[in-house]
Each structure stands twice: as C-alpha cells, then as structure tokens.
Amino acid sequence: MIEDATLDYLVARRFGYLLFQRLFGTEPSDELFDAIDEDVATRAFGFVDVEGTTAAYGRELLDLAQAENRDLAARLSDYTRLFVGPAALPAPPWESVYLEGKRMVMQPSTLDIRNAYRAHGFLPALYPRVPDDHLALELDFLASLAAEACDAYDRGDEGRMRDALEASGDFIADHPLKWIDAFACDLEEKGGSDFYACAAKALASFMAADVRRLEAACG
C-alpha cells in the first residue's frame, strides 16, 4: 500500500476538492452553505494538511459560512461581480490570464489542460461554453481524480489508485498551484469580499499541502 494513502486522507481530498469546486463554481445559496458540515470539513482539512495552515483559513471560512454571519444577497452580489461580470473581473478565475501574461483566456495553457482532461476521460459539464482552465473546472477534475482514487482503494486496486494520485499531483503542480496564490492575492486586494478571499487562501493552502503529501506518497 502506498505510504500515507490512508482511506481518511483519500476521502478528505475528495471532500476538499468537491467543496472548493462548489464554492467557486456555483452561485451561493443557503442550501450550499447549510450543506457544509463544519466537523467534517475541519477533519478533512486536518487530514490533508497535517501542518495546520489550511485549518486556520478553514476555521475562518467555515465561520463566514455560518447562517449568523451570512448575508446571502451580498454574497450573491460578490459572486456575480467577482466571477461572472459583466464588468471587468478583479480576479479572473482562468489560469491563462495569470500564466500567459495577458488578460486573455483560451491561451496555449488552456489546450494543455484540455489534453489532461481527455487523457483521463474527463469532459467538463459546461464544455464547451466555459474555457477549460476555469478554476471551477480544474477543481472538478481534481475531485473526479480524487473519487477515482477512493474507488480504486475500495476495490484494492493499488495500481489504479497510484495512477489517480500521481495524475492529481502532476496536474496540481503544473496548473492551479502556479497561479492560485496570485488569484488569492487579487481577491484579497481587489475583490472586496472577505468570504471569497478567505476561500481562495484556504484552497491555495490545501493544494500546496496536498502536493507535499502526494510527493511523499508517490515519489
């Protein structure tokens, strides 16, 4: 069995990427926030990030998601302003905007991501209406790979589990990890939303910790 590839860790990864995908990929709603189990989320962050950095951001994020701290109308307005438009977005959620040095989408890095998706039989639900390098689609892909690793673990298929974990680590390191810090910085400095700035910082910390664990497990 791969070192550190415990079921708790695998399930925590799947939970984390699915949670962040929903936060950045769907409009905020009471149903979305009410479905976040604080205890489960706290344990998931801890299993992935044993050093605890993600947990600190996670506690702030979970507190902001609680009903008593939630202004849904303002949260929805923030989501539209930050990620939909029609005005210029202060923190565009596309990888190519950050990696290609241009405030443009559908750059060469987008094709690289599309090829990674195809290699694993992943077709985004919003394809082709949304560019492949949208943060929510990258997170959806990582959630899919995390689910594949969990399924392989349940079947006792170590080879398939290793393949899914290695693909996850390579994709994170080659794609979202290269721009998520800049995206989080833009949200914090220009976004005007404590919730989404905190979510981005928590995600950046979660992915960095996950890559460290995957490198230790699969290296």
Distances (CA, A) of 1 to 103, 146, 167: 44, 17, 17
The predicted structure's pLDDT at residue 101? 63
pLDDT band for 1, please (50, 70, 90 cuts): very low
The predicted structure's pLDDT at residue 112? 81
Give the pLDDT mean for 97-106: 66
Residue 124 has pLDDT above 70, yes or no: no
3, 12, 26: which is closest to 137 by C-alpha?
26
CB atoms within 10 A of CB 90: 15
Q: What's the CATH fold of domain 7-218?
A: TorD-like (1.10.3480)
* Dist. CA 55–CA 61, nearest whole Å: 9
The predicted structure's pLDDT at residue 50? 79
* Dist. CA 19–CA 14, nearest whole Å: 9
CB atoms within 10 A of CB 67: 9
Kindly state the tokens that stand for 75: 């949260």
Domain-wise residue ranges, the chain: 7-218
The predicted structure's pLDDT at residue 129? 61
Give the pLDDT mean for 35-60: 90
* Dist. CA 159–CA 207, nearest whole Å: 23
pLDDT digits (tens, 9 = 90+) for 154-174: 999 999 999 999 999 999 999
Give the pLDDT mean for 121-149: 84
What is the chain's length?
219
Q: Could you say which DSSP state residue 64 is in?
A: H
Query: Three-state DSSP class for 10?
Result: helix
* Dist. CA 176–CA 9, nearest whole Å: 20
176, 171, 166, 172: which is closest to 216 by C-alpha?
166
Query: Three-state DSSP class for 52?
Result: coil
